Structure 1
Amino acid sequence: MSDFSGIWIPLITPFADGAVDHAALRALVRRYADAGVAGLVALGTTGEPATLDAAEQDAVLATILDAAQADANAADAADATDAQRRPLPVLVGVSGNHTASMLARIEQLNSLPIAGVLIAAPYYTRPAQAGIVAHFSALADASAHPVVLYDIPQRTGVRLELDTLLTLAAHPRIQAIKDCAGSLDTTLALIRDGRLQVLAGNDLEVFSTVCAGGSGAIAASAHWRPERFVALYRALTEGKLDEGRRIFHALVPQIQLAFAEPNPAPMKALLAATGWVRNELRLPMTRASAALTERLAALGETLPR
């Protein structure tokens, strides 16, 4: 069983002149391993997987897995850190609204050394809750890896109702949820139930979710200053509420700017302003506006990496 606690980063996909920039992607993986994050998400929404063809998706995943393992292989060095002594766990996003096609993708992933699969509800079709249960159950039955549910009705058009989530929690391979529904009642009910690890998916809810007993967060805004997000999580889980509050309040402006325009444009602009990637996206996604880019660049100049 995988542990989905801590701070996880849903990796962007860097581009250079229209192609995937694998060197930049590898550098980002090493950066986040050094920062002490708990794990990475490959091909999540932030990674623009809808704009990648199947071969590109496989290549992106291969680079991420190789780079995550490379840091563990470097542990032979006497000065290797704890974060470098083990492979960094990688969750893989699997999306779609055709259960049979998604089953085929799950089968492809079964042989890979991944921590699990992150699966959202079928988008656009807006199935009944019974259909959602059958869909996730079929995928979990077929998966050799743990399943993390992704409840994000803003994107899919359908939410996972609490009764549905509690039913799915009984499946032995459904282990966690990325909680983006914005329902405090549901979040608290799942935490109190205790069968699913609850990860905040809305970054401004990291503080409240962890304080309430959640397991951590999958936070796109943690691409920048990941050490501070790790420090926030540690402070809260160690009961250092005042310290955690100070860290969180300092991170709020960064989190707000990261989602001031459609994700991942703001975060790519910030990383580009500091030399980590080029400021490139694929249509229909577009770059952050000039005004927001200027604000992000100013943020990058005033805060340490």
Structure 2
Amino acid sequence: MVTPFAEDGSVDYEGARRLAAYLVDEQRNDGLVVSGTTGESPTTSDEEKERLLRAVVETVGDRAVVVAGAGSNDTRHSVELARAAERAGAHGLLVVTPYYSKPPQEGLHRHFTAVADATGLPVMLYDIPGRTGVPIATETLLRLAAHERIVAVKDAKADLFAASQVMAATGLAFYSGDDALNLPWLSVGAAGCVSVIGHVAGADIAALMERYRAGDVSGALAVHRRLLPVISGIMTQAGGAIMAKAALALLGRPAGSVRPPLAEATEQQVARLREDLVAGGVKLPDGVA
């Protein structure tokens, strides 16, 4: 979930409440990640994160799973974020691989274990080496799976063979972290996806999953192909947070600007986004298309 900002750059907490309700009640997302990368977590303070999480839990926590982003490249800070999230009512934690520092695999194991030990909440690991510089190795995932509270992986590594090996050997639930691969991930046993395009196409993703699980693979494939322009418009131009906010603005939903060092979508990017959303079946308000 993006973090809506007001015109003065502050967090729009009331907008976050409205957005969370829209994502759950209208877009059929059965869970929300608050303060993940798409939520611009590197640029929000710990106080903003906790207040935002409380607002979302109070709004939709009775009908959706609310997962708090609690990762950083500082283990001590990650532990603090995890404990704050537990106090604020989070149902689970998303913990990204420590970025920039490029720790060895033993360092990753110690980091994730420390965060998992810090609270009673279930933990989803976030494996995205393209942003962090270090993948979580298969052997490390097998070790971490022994921890009773490490229960899932958001995978943006796109190694379906390695993930298949981990799923076959452990109880870890895998979630696609790349909207272009949501359907392929289901074919190897993934539990679902953590989506960016779910801001505007969550109901379609839910339909894709329902069809696949009911054995209607061709129906799921049809939805996947219809959503390709939406994925392209949001994920291939300027980054998920920027373009998801631009898409929400086209729909008249709370979003606001992005915080530096991100920059707003250009007029050309928004024009292409508008075309891609319409091509993918996203209904825009009258006068927008």
- Report the counterpart of residue 29 of structure 1 in structure 2: 20
* 2:1 maps to 1:14: no
Q: What is the CA–CA distance in structure 1 between the aligned matches of 2:182 and 2:162, rounded to whole Å? A: 15
Q: What is the CA–CA distance in structure 2 between the aligned matches of 1:38 and 1:155, rounded to whole Å? A: 26
* 2:38 maps to 1:46: yes
- Report the counterpart of residue 53 of structure 2 in structure 1: 61
Structure 1 pair 20–112 and aligned structure 2 pair: CA distance change class (3 A): closer
Q: What is the CA–CA distance in structure 1 between the aligned matches of 2:248 and 2:83, rounded to whole Å? A: 34
- Report the counterpart of residue 138 of structure 1 in structure 2: 114
- Shift, 1:236, TM fit: 0.9
* 2:225 maps to 1:249: yes
Structure 1 pair 98–304 and aligned structure 2 pair: CA distance change class (3 A): closer
- Shift, 1:60, TM fit: 1.2
Q: What is the CA–CA distance in structure 1 between the aligned matches of 2:271 and 2:70, rounded to whole Å? A: 34
Contact 1:274 1:300 survives alignment (8 Å): no
SS at match of 2:197: helix
Contact 2:35 2:49 survives alignment (8 Å): yes
Q: What is the CA–CA distance in structure 2 between the aligned matches of 1:198 and 1:131, rounded to whole Å? A: 22
* 2:86 maps to 1:94: no
1:126-184 Cα deviation digits (max 9, x unpaired): 11101111111111112210010000111111110110111101111100000011212
Q: What is the CA–CA distance in structure 1 between the aligned matches of 2:150 and 2:144, rounded to whole Å? A: 7
Q: What is the CA–CA distance in structure 2 between the aligned matches of 1:56 and 1:154, rounded to whole Å? A: 27
How is 1:143-222 mapped onto 2 (pairs within 5 angstroms)? 143-222=119-198
Structure 1, gaps ≥5 residues long: 1-10, 70-85
* 2:285 maps to 1:293: no
* 2:94 maps to 1:107: no
Give the aligned CA root-mean-square deviation in angstroms: 1.5
- Shift, 1:108, TM fit: 2.3
Structure 2, gaps ≥5 residues long: 284-289
Contact 1:13 1:48 survives alignment (8 Å): yes
1:69-113 Cα deviation digits (max 9, x unpaired): 4xxxxxxxxxxxxxxxx4311000012122122222222233343
Q: What is the CA–CA distance in structure 2 between the aligned matches of 1:278 and 1:192, rounded to whole Å? A: 40
SS at match of 1:276: coil
- Report the counterpart of residue 264 of structure 1 in structure 2: 241
Counting matched residue pairs gives 279
1:10-60 Cα deviation digits (max 9, x unpaired): x00111211222232111111122132220000000000111122211221
Give TM-score, length-normalised by structure 2. Answer: 0.92
Task: Indicate the percent of aligned positions where both proteins have the same amino acid.
Answer: 30
Structure 1 pair 60–110 and aligned structure 2 pair: CA distance change class (3 A): closer
- Shift, 1:208, TM fit: 0.4
Contact 1:190 1:198 survives alignment (8 Å): no
Deviates further, 37-46 or 178-187: 178-187
Residue identity matched to 1:58: E
- Shift, 1:279, TM fit: 4.4
